[in-house]
Amino acid sequence: MPIDPLVKGALDLDPWLEPYEGALVHRQKHAASLLASLKDSNQTLAEFASSYKKYGIHADWKTHEISVAEYIPDVTSVSLIGEFNGWDRNATPLVKSDGFGLWTTTIPAINNGKDFTIPHDSKIKLAITLPSGEVVYRLSPWATRATQPEPEVDGSVKSHVYDSRFWNPQPEDTYKFKNSRPVLPETDGIKIYEAHVGISTPEPTIGTYKNFTKKILPLIHQLGYNTIQLMAVMEHAYYASFGYQITNFFAISSRYGTPEDLKELVDEAHGLGIRVLLDVVHSHASKNVEDGLNMFNGTDHYLFHGGAKGNHDLWDSRLFNYSNYETLRFLLSNLKFYTDVYQFDGFRFDGVTSMLYKHHGLSFGFSGNYNEYFSDDYVDNDAIAYLILAHTLMDELATKEPSGFKFISIAEDVSGMPTLCLPTTDGGVGFNYRLSMAIPDMWIKIIKHLQDEDWDMGAIVHTLTNRRHGEKCIAYCESHDQALVGDKTIAFWLMDKEMYTHMSVLTELTPVVDRGLSLHKLIRLITFSLGGEGYLNFEGNEFGHPEWLDFPRVGNGESYNYARRQFNLIEDPLLRYKFLFDFDSAMQHLDTKYGILDSHQAYVSLKHQGDKVIVFERNGLLFIFNFHATKSYADYKLGVQIPGIYQVVLNSDRACFGGHDRIEEINPKTGKPLEFWTKDEPWNDRDNSLLVYIPTRTALVLQLKDKIIE
């Protein structure tokens, strides 16, 4: 039988999917059915996802009227209260406008139509009367501003419940974007700087959007990253949740500043040619009631599944019902809101594994058996349909942007679900990339449990290259997960005994620090060049940040001492952190010049366990790694496919990277660059070979002389 056109692209790429054609077709048809239910004859998906312009509380600067629309089913009455009306429940009632739970009102202007009834940034809430007669007070699900309660005169705080505010600055005070979204060259792979605004300061306090714009953006640009992934932006009442217990989905964290400040941050990044992704949490929501979505209308199934199905036991949070019409309106509008209002260029979706499966990945070991990915007993087809709709929306929105621009989406998924990172037009879910979450686990296990002589070159290569053909991956050595307290960063695992005493160039280079600096560079470069079609780094880890990350909480006395990144360390010329920072920058710019990441997977010609040497070619570059703890190799014979004269374009042993300068890259007699001439002698299944000196714990990258880019 012919393959259904809906999934032909996926099956052409992976014929092993043929027995599951029916399941793949069902996913696409289910999403199409939902799409049809969301639209009427005059509405596009983008228009449906523009509901944020109607729902919530909105100001009309022409008439100075304020419109209010809230979806609150199964309640008796709703009113808007706040500082503007003395918190009077009878002053501003909403009217039920349909049979599905929509409540609306229009608040007229005051002072002969010159002013708004509700002042800018004043506090407001919804007063909701339940069928039982109980009155509950809630923040609008669509609120764009929520702030921490103000302390009393004596410094005490009566309540920790967030306040909703009417954000409506004067037009002249509203930030105007100056820069268009960056359209990067096709050869420029995605290089992600994962960042958290609040910790982006050396001081033990909460950093601001303004601080990030002024001090961190230039560093990211200097390093050569072309994409920022901003974490913990969506408002979360509990700072120590790291932004993963969202209370207000349309409000950005007020801890860091105002909405206008965030707009400026994104705009300035665009001016530097850097895209900005939002770490979006649509997998679950905070259980907070008074300032969250939980029990919003007095029931446990407002936008969520009811009962046990609506609870994530491990995360202690609520789970969305992706089959619900209003849930889809809310989540899809949430995506469009951040692309429209804040000009984000895409999203990293958190907790995708939890969304994809009814078991949420809890106590389930994925073996790679395709039945685990397509059985109705395991898979949440409603969640998959939502993700397909989300990517359909992003594709639709991209058509309105400059030619060549595409919204980026990244999935945090540990299961390896096939077709997750294929276009919806090929029968996929639509993500552009998935995070290669096995790679950081591998490095930590190796460093933590194995002696240097026991490192398995074959196993390292296998983990770095073990990914689905045709579905792109983001490689990384460590993300925020490995930086959190309870774990250690790679630098800490390698050097923690001496990072506080021997990182100054005025002290001796000890064996521990020497090993740590060398392996830190090798681990990053081999992950960068072999592990995927994109690369990610968590801020501070590029220079070997000496401490873990721990947010203020009861367990540490509410301390901010570890909820920061000490960027001041790279500014001190007497500290060795600058060497790792400069190497990371050289690595990023290597891709910018030669297009390593967004190219075909590397050809590995050597993974010699005894010599601890790994050699591979990718997009014309020859990568050479010597992981041996004690052995350097003179005239080491390597295979290479393309004949010619090669020169060094990156050398981890350079003194500027904290190395020993054991390779003379410039011939002292001629003053010309060191050259490696190939011979017509096949080696390691390559047509040609050359001889190279490889010092211990050193990585070299060679390029043909006539293709070197200065």
Cα separation of 343 and 357, whole Å? 31
352/47 Cα distance (integer angstroms): 25
φ and ψ of 625, to 5 deg: -125, 130
23 three-state secondary structure: helix
What Cα–Cα distance (Å) separates residue 132 from each residue in 10, 34, 76, 107, 137? Answer: 52, 34, 9, 28, 15
Instruction: Specify whether 412 is catalytic.
Output: yes
Catalogue the E-assigned strands of 187-254: 190-196, 227-231, 234-235, 248-252
Indicate the residue type of 654.
R
Residue 388 parent element (H or E): helix 381-398
Rg (CA), the chain: 28
**Coil, helix or strand for 414?**
coil
Q: CA-CA distance, 683 to 450, in Å (whole number)?
A: 31
Whether 330 contacts 303, CB under 8 Å: yes
The CA distance from 40 to 168, in Å, is 32
Q: Which two tokens stand for residue 337?
A: 């809101």
What separation in angstroms does the CA of 253 have from each of 202, 346, 347, 430, 593?
20, 18, 17, 28, 37
Identify the CA nearest to 194 among candidates 230, 165, 170, 234: 230
Cα gap 528→265, rounded to integer Å: 27
Partners of 692 in the β-ladder: 636
Q: How far apart are CA 266 and CA 259, in angstroms?
A: 11
- In sequence order, the 6+-apart residues with CB closer than 8 A to the CB of 235 are 146, 162, 246, 247, 248, 249, 251, 252, 253, 254
The residue assigned the tokens 């979204």 is 181
At which residue do the structure tokens 């050193």 appear?
698
Q: Angle at the Cα of 313 (from 387 to 230), degrees rounded to 5?
A: 50
Classify each residue of 324-333 as buried b or exposed e, where b means 16 or more C-beta atoms within 10 Å of its C-beta: bebbbbbbbb
Among residues 350, 380, 478, 584, the one annotated as catalytic is 350
Query: Within the chain, how many helices (H) and strands (E) appear?
Result: 16, 29
Q: Which residues pair with 200 in a beta bridge?
A: none
d(CA 526, CA 649): 15
From the list 14, 412, 413, 542, the catalytic residue is 412
Which of 456, 361, 369, 378 lies closest to 412 in space, CA to CA? 361
Annotation marks residue 653 as catalytic: no
- The answer to whether the beta carbons of residues 408 and 390 sit under 8 Å apart is no
Cα 388 to the center of its chain, rounded Å: 19
Q: 502-527 b/e with 16+ CB inside 10 Å = b? A: bbeeeeeeeeebbebbbbbbbbbbbb
Buried b (16+ CB within 10 A) or exposed e, 268-278: bbbeeebbbbb
**Residues catalogued as catalytic:** 350, 412
